[in-house]
Amino acid sequence: EVQLVQSGAEVKKPGESLKISCKGSGYRFATYWIGWVRQMPGKGLEWMGIIYPGDSDTRYSPSFQGQVTISADKSISTAFLQWSSLKASDTAMYYCARRGFDSKWYYFDYWGQGSLVTVSS
């Protein structure tokens, strides 16, 4: 069974750093892209970026480029999303998701349960 299990909720202060994780199981982790999606309180879904764990090829949305870092360690089947200096506006639920495919069509077919990040002084 394919599963993505994310790290737990975090409460941080502005300016602090943070790294959240997403561990995959039940499939060959290195061979599927993993994406990150943000949902701010009361808002919709935002595509942040995506990484191929096999070679760490990473693509970012321009809205998130330079704001976060996406990484992966295929040896432990885990992807990461990190911030070097959090802002209150980073308060959100963050989902990781596996990018599945059928021929030329791509979609997020399996999702993590979400990691709630709260940034408050």
Q: Which residues bind another protein (CB under 8 A)?
A: 35, 37, 44-47, 49-50, 59-63, 95, 97, 100, 102, 105-109, 111-114
Whole-number minimum distance, CB 49 to another protein, in Å? 8
The owner of tokens 């999702």 is: 111
How far is it, in rounded angstroms, from Cα 76 to Cα 84? 23
Q: What is the chain's length?
A: 121
CB of 16 to another protein, least distance (A): 26
Provide, rounded to whole angstroms, the least separation between the CB of residue 32 and another protein.
14
Task: List CB contacts of 19: < 8 A, sequence separation 6 or more.
Answer: 80, 81, 82, 83
The answer for residues whose C-beta is within 8 angstroms of residue 3's C-beta and 6 or more apart is 24, 25, 26, 110
The residue (of 4 and 75) whose beta carbon lies closer to another protein is 4
* Closest residue by Cα to residue 53 from 99, 84, 89, 16: 99
Which of 62/75 has CB closer to another protein?
Answer: 62
Between 29 and 95, CB nearer to another protein:
95
In the complex, minimum distance from the CB of residue 69 to another protein, in angstroms, rounded to a whole number: 16
Q: Which is nearer to another protein, 59 or 87 (CB)?
A: 59
